[in-house]
């Protein structure tokens, strides 16, 4: 018997993360020490009270059954967090839905909302699940270029009217991945008016909401007047509380969209492990001192990496947020060649920018998931690499 993937699967490219991992393994098999700055998986531990909570409830043999859905107190904790951190009021019953990670929710949303032939506006560069989810749902992608000269914001008035007439959804992410730019309330206000004019659901990925540097404000899309009328916002405990492996997140906002996604998910999963939900409640209702300390650690990492790269003559922009640096590569290189040669020759793994869309060509994404001294060593190796292999 010979099996083939469905037409939808065949449209999807192989994961660049796996390609980089394979290249890294090949280099390590040859004895090279590789500093892995490719995958955005936090290397920090969760707060101690999170781990203690999981351990406490995991000892209770009655907590190993299906939870079926989010605990009421989890939804209430999300409301508390949003009010305290972003001055957003939410209805716990109708405007919050628990997810097995924000990627899980984003992947399922398109299937729940999009019909074959519908268009979705996605950022280019953008996180791969945006496009993949629409492809799986049978929809069409319209990429919105995010360019440095436009502060990495899409130009909404340049989207053709004939596309807008067939558009059902727009995906945004600020601060984003891989582009680490910020958006202000003024931009989000324009997005709300745009969505109302063209009857488009706005989907804002806010997974890096608590990794914003240099005292810049945290602006939730839902904090803008009218946002809940047209949009939803995904958020996660993965990056904020270093609970990536726990797979717990949520989406908040428009009650109609929340209900549609909830109905869809009721057919495909049976809820998140009770101890993890209880730990998440503790995290969301803590005093948040942990978050301020964590931002300082990431700022130190960013400064060590960026200053080291700039000493090498590589003019890398200072990242204003997230755990990434979005770096324009030296002239003469293609993103993929640069990233793979960097692994082979310098022992530093990064992700080529073209993996995130056409506009990502000419960039690489560097994850700040190593201590400052290791990032400084990566910068030193890159400096040596550029001195030898500059094209």
What DSSP string runs through 216-268? -----GGGSTTHHHHEEEEEESTTTSS-GGG--EEEEE-HHHHHHHHHHHTTT
* Angle of the 48-58 helix axis to the 274-284 helix axis, nearest 10: 150
Q: Where are the domains of the chain?
A: 7-45+289-389, 65-284
7-45+289-389 placed in CATH 3.40.50.2300: no
Residue 370 and residue 350: Cα distance in Å, rounded?
Answer: 12
d(CA 231, CA 204): 8
Give the pLDDT of the chain (391 residues) as one tens digit per residue.
Answer: 888 888 877 777 667 888 888 999 998 999 899 999 998 889 999 999 999 999 999 999 999 999 999 999 999 999 999 999 999 999 999 999 999 999 999 999 999 999 999 999 999 999 999 999 999 999 999 999 999 999 999 999 999 999 999 999 999 999 999 999 999 999 999 999 999 999 999 999 999 999 999 999 999 999 999 999 999 999 999 999 999 999 999 999 999 999 999 999 999 999 999 999 999 999 999 999 999 999 999 999 999 999 999 988 888 999 999 999 999 999 889 999 999 999 999 999 999 999 999 999 999 999 999 999 999 999 999 999 987 766 5
Between helix 102-113 and helix 255-265 the angle, nearest 10°, is 100
pTM: 0.95
Report, at the CATH architecture level, how domain 65-284 is classified. Answer: 3-Layer(aba) Sandwich (3.40)
- How far is CA 327 from each of CA 32, 347, 365, 387, rounded to the nearest angstrom? 24, 18, 6, 18
- Provide φ and ψ at 63, rounded to 5°: -105, 20
SS (H, E, C) 20-48: HHHHHHHHHHCCCCCEECCCCCCCCCCCH
Residue 132: φ, ψ to 5°: -60, -40
Alpha-carbon gap, residue 152 to 177, rounded angstroms: 12
3-state helix, strand and coil shares in percent for the chain, rounded to the nearest 5: 50, 15, 40
Over its C-alpha atoms, the chain yields an Rg (Å, rounded) of: 21
């Amino acid at each position: 018997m010979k099996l083939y993937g469905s037409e939808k699967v065949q449209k999807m490219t192989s994961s660049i993360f796996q390609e980089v991992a394979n290249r890294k393994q090949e280099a390590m098999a040859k004895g090279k020490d590789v500093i892995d700055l490719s995958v955005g998986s936090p290397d920090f531990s969760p707060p101690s009270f999170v781990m203690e909570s999981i351990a406490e409830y995991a000892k209770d043999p009655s907590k190993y059954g299906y939870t079926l859905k989010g605990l009421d107190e989890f939804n209430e904790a999300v409301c508390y967090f949003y009010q305290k951190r972003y001055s957003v009021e939410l209805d716990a019953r109708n405007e919050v839905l628990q997810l097995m990670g924000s990627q899980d929710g984003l992947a399922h949303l398109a299937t729940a909302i999009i019909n074959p032939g519908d268009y979705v506006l996605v950022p280019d560069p953008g996180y791969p699940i945006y496009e993949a989810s629409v492809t799986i749902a049978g929809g069409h992608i319209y990429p919105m270029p995010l360019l440095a000269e436009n502060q990495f914001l899409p130009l909404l008035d340049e989207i053709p009217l004939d596309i807008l007439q067939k558009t059902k959804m727009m995906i945004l992410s600020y601060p984003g991945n891989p582009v680490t730019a910020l958006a202000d309330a003024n931009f989000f206000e324009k997005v709300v008016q745009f969505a109302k004019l063209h009857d488009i659901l706005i989907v804002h990925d806010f997974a890096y909401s608590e990794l914003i540097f240099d005292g810049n404000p945290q602006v939730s899309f839902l904090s803008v007047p009218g946002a809940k009328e047209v949009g939803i916002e995904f958020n996660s405990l993965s990056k904020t509380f270093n609970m990536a492996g726990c797979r717990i997140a949520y989406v908040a906002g428009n009650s109609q969209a929340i209900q549609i996604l909830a109905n869809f998910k009721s057919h495909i999963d049976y809820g998140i492990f009770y101890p993890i939900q209880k730990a998440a409640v503790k995290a969301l209702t803590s005093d948040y001192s942990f978050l301020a300390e964590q931002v300082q650690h990431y700022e130190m990492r960013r400064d060590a990496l960026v200053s080291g790269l700039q000493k090498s003559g590589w003019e890398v922009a200072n990242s204003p947020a997230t755990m990434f640096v979005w770096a324009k590569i030296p002239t003469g290189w293609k993103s993929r060649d640069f990233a793979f040669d960097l692994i082979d020759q310098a022992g530093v793994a990064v992700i080529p920018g073209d993996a995130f869309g056409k506009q990502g060509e000419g960039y690489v994404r560097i994850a700040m998931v190593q201590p400052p001294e290791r990032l400084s060593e990566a910068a030193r190796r890159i400096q040596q690499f550029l001195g030898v292999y500059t094209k």
